[in-house]
Structure 1
Amino acid sequence: MSIFRSEARLLISKNHTMAWLLSKTFEERQAIVSIARASISTVRAEETLAKKLLCEPILQKGLEKERGYVAKCALQIKRRDQAIDAISPFGFINSLNSISALLDSPSESDRASALAAQIRFRERALLQPPPEPKIYTLSRMGKKLTEEELHRRLMLLIEADQKGTLLASSFDHPFTGRSIRRWTEEANEDGVVSSIERKGETTLVTLSFPSGSVSHPLVHFEYLLDEGSFDLLDDLL
């Protein structure tokens, strides 16, 4: 039942309209009813317009909210992908001893960028909870943080990770246990895919070589396989 019809019934029952109508002669009642019926289409049109005017801003607001949510998700995905790409030269650093690999460059800027990339990866790909306030704010008063401060923050994140702030779970995967060859400019090195685990919000592949272990996000490891930086030795037989 429409709002207008409900209101009409309520008014008729409360203000004695029916008694007034019945007090009229038959001809008068017919004339009054005819006038009322003639206005039904106008009333319905006004009701439809009122509903439209009410719904349009609600729908518009809903669409704007949805577009904002989609844009936010797209930005998060873009930042996550950028964070994954940024750690590709060294892989994922998950131990304090491995940080030294980031500090071999003679360029202070390169060392700082490598440290910052690891921090951003933990923030945007792993979604690691911050162990201290503003740890993911990598500038201070418009200036980039020093190498020493970035080093300290990465150490703090790794230590927090080792205490179990990030949920990690291993699972079976076709890559697990496969022999692998790493190609570098100097030489190649054979190793094995030692584990694949879900860590935080990212799946990581750990590769073990005689020279040490390295971890990569699974999606990036698959890219490196396609690119030729790694080969699965079983596929070469």
Structure 2
Amino acid sequence: MPAPAAATPGTAGPAGDPGPGPGPAGHPGRKRVTSRAELEQAAFGLFAANGFEQTTVDEIAAAAGIGRRTFFRYFPSKNDIPWGAFEHELDRMRVRLKACPPEIPLMDAIRLALIDFNRVPAAQVPLHRRRMQLILRVPALFAYSTLRFTAWRQVIAEFVAQRTCRRAGELAPQVIAHAVLGVAVAAYEHWLDDESADLGALLDDGMRQLGAAFAGSLR
């Protein structure tokens, strides 16, 4: 599952951002956000209070003490907020897979990378749970996730292709990539339904079962 990552607190804002200062009209003296993480916090507060679909970009910008135009320097759209620093994490998974020793079996390599990709510090688990509840259970966001899922599956397919001397677009790499995403989504659904569940253990168990199903089928 593409596990969205929180923007790092204290990260500098986008180029051209005016930085701290008086808030926009109607919000005198409100401190402007100075990082993506702060903007996320403002947005998630509104999502919790009013609902994702009912919250507008203008409301998020006002709550963050910035203008609408500045909001779009941080995120292309409201739908991108729950995904955090997804592209960065996707690059990290690609590097993690590429660095995996060749003697580690294919499905074990993917299993370890998947668990690592979805590892979340304990302090960030509540926010991560809120992210995934939005992504998987808000219809508009789940539909929007298609593009993200495609990019995530491509990383898996490229790794499978490299390991099996195939092209990433061939059937076998694509089947495995789709199957791994299915494992991840199923694990997240269980995790969201049971707060006592361990996400890493769910992913590990699901991938071991998938690996057993594919055992001996790849050459």
Same fold (TM over 0.5): no
- Taking structure 2 as the reference length, the TM-score comes to 0.24
Greater helix share, 1 or 2?
A: 2
Greater strand share, 1 or 2?
A: 1
- Taking structure 1 as the reference length, the TM-score comes to 0.23
Relative contact order: is structure 1 or structure 2 higher (C-alpha 8 Å, sep ≥ 6)?
2
Larger radius of gyration: 1
